[in-house]
Copies of this chain bind each other. A is one copy, B any other.
Amino acid sequence: MPNDILLYWKERGAREFLRDLRGCRVLATYVIGSTRTSTVPGVSAAGPTPEATLYTPALDVEYLLTGRAISMDVIPVTPEGVPTPAIITRAVLKLAGFPHLIVDSGSYLEPKVPHVRLPSKVVGGLISECRALPEGYASRLLKESRLLGRTAVKGADLLVIGESLPGGTTTALGILAGLGYEAWGLVSGSGPKNPHPLKERVVREGLRKLPKELRGDPMKVVECLGDPLHVSMAGLVEGALESGTKVILAGGTQMAAVLALLKSLNVNLSGNLVVGTTRWVAEDNTSDIVKLVKLVSESTPVVAVDLNFSSSRFEGLRYYERGYVKEGVGAGGTAVAAVVSRGIKVGDIVEAVEEEYHSLVGRGDLLG
C-alpha cells in the first residue's frame, strides 16, 4: 500500500480492495444536482450567496472539463481565494488520464459541457417542508441511474463516483434521519464552523412532516428529506456493481447516505466498495466519517488520500488546512484511485493542483 493512502476504517478490507486496482480500468463519474435546501441561509458555504449555491454544480463541472466556468464569468474561488475542490479533481484527472463523465441528476443550471442527463432530473425542494422531490421521482432517478450503470460502466474495473450538491450534508443527514440512523452532529461541512444546530433543525422540521409509517421506506424518505443526487448515486453504484465493477464512493460524510440507501435496497457491498475521501474530511474535528460509516455499513472501509497543502505557496490552498472546503467533486476518491491504480505520487498531485490554481487565478492578484 502506498504511504500516500491513509486507512481509517476496516484496514484489512481496504488493503484487499486497493491491492487489486493496480493498472485497472477506471471510469470516473461526477454526479451533480441542486436542492433549494442550499438556499436556506447558513446551510451551505458553496457559493458567494445562498441563492448562488444553485449555480455551483454546473460551474464546478464546466471548470472540471474545460478549466473555466462557462455559464457565468466567474472564477470558482471564494473572495479569500479558496478554490473549488474541482481543482484537485481536474489536476488528478490530467495526471491519471481517467475517462470521465458528468451526470446531471438535477442541476439548477444546465452545464454548458457535455453531460449525461437523467431524464427525470429535477431540482430538489426544501427538505424542511418535506418536499425534496415530486412523488415518484426517487424511484425514477434510481432506475435511470441504475440503467446508466448497467450500460455505460460495463467493462470498467473501477467506478469512481463523486458529487457536487451544495447543501448535500444537510440532505444526507435528512436521508439518514429518515432511515432511522442517529447521525446528528456527525456530518461534515464546507467551512471550519459546522452549523450542526441549523442542519438538525432543518432536518427535524421535515422529519416531523414525514408520516411515521413511511420512515425507513427509502424512496419516501428521499422524496421528503433527500435530494436528486444521493439516490442517483445509489442507482449508478448498483448498476455498476451488477456489471462486476468495484466502486470508490468519492466523497465525504454524505457517502453514508448513499450507503444507507444501498443497504435499504439490499445491495451486496462486501468487498466491492470503499469510501474514498480526503484527509481533511477524515480528520475533521466537526464531524466523524468513520463513526457515520460504521453506523450505516459496518464493513465498508474508509480510506483517504494524504494530500497536504500546508506548504503550498498559495494561501488559497493553505485554507484547506484550516477546515475550508475539505472535499467535493470527487476530489479525495479520484486521487485515491490515481495513486493506487496509476502509481501517481501525492507530491505530483500537489504540484499539479498548484499549476491549476495558478492558471485559474491568473498572474498573481490572488496569490498568497
Residues of A within 8 A of B (CB): 25-26, 65-66, 97-101, 103-104, 110-119, 144-145, 147-148, 151-156
- How many protomers of this protein does the assembly include? 2
B115 with A153: CB separation less than 8 A: no
CB < 8 Å neighbour of A148 from B103, B114, B118? B114
List 28 interface pairs A-B (beta carbons < 8 Å), by A numbering: A25-B25, A25-B155, A65-B147, A65-B151, A66-B147, A97-B155, A98-B155, A99-B152, A99-B153, A99-B154, A99-B155, A99-B156, A101-B152, A103-B114, A104-B117, A110-B119, A111-B119, A112-B119, A113-B119, A113-B144, A113-B147, A114-B116, A114-B117, A114-B118, A114-B119, A114-B148, A114-B151, A115-B116
B154 with A97: CB separation less than 8 A: yes
B119 with A117: CB separation less than 8 A: no
- Tell me how far the C-beta of A143 lies from the nearest C-beta in chain B, rounded to whole angstroms: 10
Q: Of residues A65, A110, A151, which shows the largest number of chain B Cβ atoms within 10 Å of its Cβ?
A: A151
Q: Complex: how many Å from CA A98 to CA B152? A: 8
B99 with A147: CB separation less than 8 A: no
Further 15 A-B residue pairs, CB within 8 A, beyond A98-B155, A115-B119: A26-B155, A65-B147, A98-B154, A99-B151, A99-B152, A99-B154, A99-B155, A100-B154, A101-B116, A110-B119, A111-B119, A112-B119, A114-B117, A114-B118, A114-B151
- Tell me how far the C-beta of A129 lies from the nearest C-beta in chain B, rounded to whole angstroms: 28
- Tell me how far the C-beta of A233 lies from the nearest C-beta in chain B, rounded to whole angstroms: 14
A117 with B118: CB separation less than 8 A: no
- Tell me how far the C-beta of A136 lies from the nearest C-beta in chain B, rounded to whole angstroms: 14
List the B side residues contacting A97 at CB < 8 Å. Answer: 154-155
- Tell me how far the C-beta of A234 lies from the nearest C-beta in chain B, rounded to whole angstroms: 15
List the B side residues contacting A119 at CB < 8 Å. Answer: 110-115
